[in-house]
Amino acid sequence: MLDSAHSITGLENVSMFRYAGMAVAMRNADQAAARAAHAVCGDPESSGAAEILRRYVLIGA
């Protein structure tokens, strides 16, 4: 797991989100990132990335 010294800040997320076709923030993201995202998923400990893949990539799976 990354510690805070290696994590991406909310402002960096928002900047990247401007270029993304679909921006997804984890539930534990800061408020600026969550507001800028197209969707918010669960945190990493609750398989948030898998949740988004099921919802948007594997539709109906």
Q: 44: domain range? A: 4-57
What are 3-60's pLDDT values in tens digits?
444 345 566 777 777 777 788 888 888 888 888 888 899 887 888 888 888 888 887 5
Which helix (H) or strand (E) segment holds residue 36: the answer is: helix 31-36
Tokens of 61: 């799976």
Task: Count other Cβ atoms within 10 Å, centred on residue 4.
Answer: 6
Is the pLDDT assigned to residue 2 strictly greater than 60? Answer: no
The structure tokens listed for 25 are 């923030």
Number of domains in the chain: 1
Amino acid at 31: Q
